[in-house]
Structure 1
Amino acid sequence: MEIIARMNVGGPATQVMGLSEGLNPDEFDHHLYTGHVDNGEGDHLRLRDSAVQVHRVAGLGRPLRPTDDYRALFHLISAIRAFRPHIVHTRTAKAGALGRTASRLAGVGSARIHVFHGHLLHGYFSPAKRHLYVQVERLLASMSDRLVTVGSQVRDDLLAAGIGRSEQYVVIPPGVRLDRIPERGAARAALNLPLDVPVVAFVGRLTSVKRPDRFVATANAVLRSLPDCRFVICGGGDLKEEVERSIRPAGDSFRMLGWRKDVETVYAAADVILLTSDNEGTPLTLIEAGMAGTPAVSTRVGSVAEIVQDGRTGLLAGADAEELARHTVKLLSDPALACRMGEAARRWADSSFNVERLVADTEALYRALYAERRDRLVTTGIMRGMNK
């Protein structure tokens, strides 16, 4: 039983879909429980065409509301008691809290896994709210059999905050499958971009932790050196209007694409992918860009360094827009270097972050937990027999 708050377009939902479609149906009876997405955010693009068994849970989607949360909690308790899963597998903070609590209260003995696709330790909360978040996650970790992180740095950050024990953690990197990548000229034509100018792309949610303002500042610094450069922004979010206002003075240098199903077209059209976040887990944007053979420039946050090998598949920087701009200009001004890094990124991403590896790693974790649960039940039964 897999529980996620929302199957909106983004990294966690992409991982759920890849796993759901890849699990061996002869061995795993897999059900997905999810809430409804917020207005303006569509369900994951493959969800409607998938054979995955999807159960909608009212109130499970964001934001936090006590009435909705209690309703979702009791729905999940009832569902767990009816389905009696061997494993309850939760993702995202709210679903992790409600799902693990429901599993504990349901009393059917399910093993519990929670996945941290990143964490909320930096860039999300005030100090008081961060303290509360840490306390809640420490309590929830005590209810968990395994804590999965998408990268080693994410695990280390959580352990440093006192969340869980080292033996509970398993690192399972993301797995991605990209659709056929178009030829560069066709991709540029599809996006109405000139063939003979450098292009830099941002792909992701336009929300504060992603720092689209830093992307715009970096772009403006790049334009001082390369005035014919074009910048495309693929995504949407609560800062969309603010970003539109900030790029207006630059005229045709920027293009807002909104959410697109064919993100591979954006990667193929770009010379560089630029990520400017304050906090990340292992961003799928950088993996997908690597699979498309496009080098990345990124802030050195979260487990980004486990995706972008600095100086080999891309360039990493601090939070300074000028430093990000210098790295971007370096790649745009040296096509041979960018090509070498892009090819290295393709080889690294294809070998390390494919969906088949994600499925195999997760199936192995499920089998190990099932065996532990079975042995524990057998031991408990023997002890009860001896006591009689």
Structure 2
Amino acid sequence: MSERIRVMQVIARMNVGGPPMQLITLQDGLDQERFEQRIYTGEPGEEEGDYLSLRGQGATVHQVPGLGRSIGPRDDARALSTLVREMRGFRPHIVHTHTAKAGALGRVAATLARVPARVHQYHGHLLHGYFTGPKRAAMIAAERALARVSHRLVAVGEQVRDDLIAAGIGDAGKFVIVPPGTSVPPLPPRAAARAALGLPPDVPVVTFIGRITQIKRPDRFVETARLIRGAVPQARFAICGDGELASVMSREPGMHMLGWRGDMETVHAASDLVMLTSDNEGVPLCLVEAALSGVPCVSTRVGSVPDVVADGQTGLLTACDSRELAAAAILLLTDQALADRMGRAAAISAERLFGTRRFVDDNAALYESLYRRNPLLTESSGRR
């Protein structure tokens, strides 16, 4: 049998969210007779849920001190040194980086360690809603330079790719699109789910899922909730997640703060709809999982959200405006037949577009392509 293709995944931290979920899906799904994988990661922040403890199901990772989200010269230098040393020991054929900081340190380390193939994945981007002025210009300049030392750039959706190319980060020939993929467990009975979460059994429930940070606009969610309650007074709002702006939501009447949870099937079963109020997104896994569970979604029309939610068919999309979001939510909360129809359509569409098998196969094809087309890769086989 030919030598396995060695793939080193590098990510800043395994917090609750889409990128860690994708890495665990690959670790479980790729053919172990063909691929040898390792995940290298830093620590989640204090207010971030730990994906490994909540949903990792015994996944193995390699810890890299200093690789967490925060930026600092000493930690960054320590993480870079560790990554170079680990790459020289593991001798991966391919380094696949995820998230901004790990993407920078991982690609620099892979260049220094002379790794034959370097891939970076954009699960979203930082072009909108994060930086302005000189900081934004510096970030774009850095990403342009890093793109030049990358053999492939992966985007989770067409809009994410197009935004990056428009900013001069990579070109169409270097990008490939690999939408995320996942699966969800069967839903428990609605009444049992409501009881487990401490929610009333007979009221409409609108759910927010994710990090409670500025880019997710918890203030917009609160404004929207107030407008919804004006038309549907009995409505309640389930907040599944945590973050530095959690108090913006927790102070508002009608908010049920659930924190980070590993049983998302319980959350979905208890929800009438899932709402996303963000200013910027890639392909949000919270909407993908909700759709797979047959829960209709209401979201701002940002990033590659339209790849998940077909407006008017599997959910409703709006501008970044609380009044539009509230009107869409009120429509679904007061028209059960429409909500049920959109939920069923969402489940069918999500299974086709975001199923696990398709996702694993797409990544396997990417790795095989890099391995076969780069002579340094095939020459390195057997010289470990």
Q: Distance in 2 between matches of 1:35 and 1:195?
A: 40
Q: Distance in 1 between matches of 2:57 and 2:376?
A: 39
Aligned partner of 1:384 in structure 2 is none
Q: TM-score, normalised by structure 1?
A: 0.93
Among candidates 197, 200, 205, match of residue 206 of structure 2? 200
1:55-76 deviations in whole A, cap 9, x for unaligned?
1111011200001101111111
| Alpha-carbon spacing, 1:166–1:36, altered in 2? closer, same or farther (3 Å) | same
Q: Distance in 2 between matches of 1:376 and 1:4?
A: 23
- 1:29 equivalent to 2:36? Answer yes
Aligned partner of 1:123 in structure 2 is 129
Deviation at 1:51, TM superposition (A): 4.8
1:118-157 deviations in whole A, cap 9, x for unaligned?
0000011122211111000000000000000110000000
Deviation at 1:189, TM superposition (A): 1.8
Q: Distance in 2 between matches of 1:43 and 1:261?
A: 10
Q: Distance in 1 between matches of 2:123 and 2:150?
A: 16
Unaligned runs of 5+ in 2: 1-7, 380-384
Question: Contact between 1:197 and 1:229, CA under 8 Å: does it hold in 2?
Answer: yes
Question: Contact between 2:371 and 2:377, CA under 8 Å: does it hold in 1?
Answer: no
- 1:79 equivalent to 2:86? Answer yes
Q: TM-score, normalised by structure 2?
A: 0.94
Aligned partner of 2:106 in structure 1 is 99
Deviation at 1:36, TM superposition (A): 1.6
Q: Distance in 2 between matches of 1:254 and 1:57?
A: 37
Unaligned runs of 5+ in 1: 379-388
Question: Contact between 2:157 and 2:304, CA under 8 Å: does it hold in 1?
Answer: yes
- 1:169 equivalent to 2:175? Answer yes
Deviation at 1:50, TM superposition (A): 2.7
Aligned partner of 1:238 in structure 2 is 244
Q: Which amino acid aligns with 1:327?
A: A
* Identical-residue share of aligned pairs (%): 54
- 1:307 equivalent to 2:314? Answer no
Question: Contact between 1:296 and 1:315, CA under 8 Å: does it hold in 2?
Answer: yes
Aligned partner of 1:365 in structure 2 is 366
Deviation at 1:28, TM superposition (A): 0.5
Aligned partner of 1:381 in structure 2 is none
Q: Which runs of 4+ in 1 moved over 3 A?
A: 45-49, 375-378
Q: Distance in 2 between matches of 1:51 and 1:240?
A: 29
Q: Distance in 1 between matches of 2:273 and 2:56?
A: 32
Question: Contact between 1:45 and 1:261, CA under 8 Å: does it hold in 2?
Answer: no
| Alpha-carbon spacing, 1:286–1:48, altered in 2? closer, same or farther (3 Å) | closer
Aligned partner of 2:5 in structure 1 is none
Among candidates 231, 235, 250, match of residue 229 of structure 1? 235
| Alpha-carbon spacing, 1:293–1:31, altered in 2? closer, same or farther (3 Å) | same
Deviation at 1:42, TM superposition (A): 4.0
- 1:154 equivalent to 2:160? Answer yes
Q: Which amino acid aligns with 1:26?
A: E
1:196-232 deviations in whole A, cap 9, x for unaligned?
2211111111000000110110010011111011111
Question: Contact between 2:52 and 2:58, CA under 8 Å: does it hold in 1?
Answer: no
1:343-365 deviations in whole A, cap 9, x for unaligned?
00000111111111111100000
Q: Which amino acid aligns with 1:6?
A: R
Q: Distance in 1 between matches of 2:57 and 2:314?
A: 34
| Alpha-carbon spacing, 1:195–1:354, altered in 2? closer, same or farther (3 Å) | same
Structure having the higher Rg: 1
Aligned residues: 371
Question: Where does 1:1-388 land on structure 2 (aligned, <5 Å)?
Answer: 1-45=8-52, 49-52=57-60, 54-107=61-114, 109-245=115-251, 247=252, 250=253, 253-374=254-375
